[in-house]
Amino acid sequence: MSETKYLETHEWYIVDGENFTVGISDFAQGELGDIVFVTLPEVGQEFTKGDSIVEVEATKTVAEAYAPMDCVITEVNTNLESEPELINNDPVGDGWMIKAKINEMNDSGMTYQEYESFIS
């Protein structure tokens, strides 16, 4: 398993072989406030790096999560449909959003240290 990487749009992702898992960062969930609804993609849907893959509705605003690289969705976290607060409680654990197969590797995310500098 590789390290957690972060995007400037506040997603985290972990690459595992030909697959990766995506969620939003602890910083992002804190900025959004209480998350009340999540719109997940369909398994089998294809996305290009930078495409909006998940819509997150919070009490304050609506935000998007973006694909870190070209991919096909292999699994979605269906627990978020009934418990969107998992993202607030454990954004980099139980609050993961999607798992996907990488179509084109483009691992351009920041390390946690780089992300910390970026958000401060």
Predicted confidence at residue 106, as pLDDT, reads 85
Ranges of each domain in the chain: 4-105
Per-residue model confidence as pLDDT tens digits over 15-29: 999 999 999 999 999
Predicted confidence at residue 4, as pLDDT, reads 94
Per-residue model confidence as pLDDT tens digits over 55-100: 999 998 999 999 999 999 999 999 999 999 999 999 999 999 999 9
When the candidates are 2.30.40.10, 2.40.50.100, 3.40.50.2000, 3.40.190.10, the CATH number that belongs to 4-105 is 2.40.50.100
Q: How far apart are CA 94 and CA 86, in angstroms?
A: 6
pTM: 0.94
- Which CA distances in Å does 18 have to 9, 15, 32, 51, 100? 22, 7, 31, 19, 9
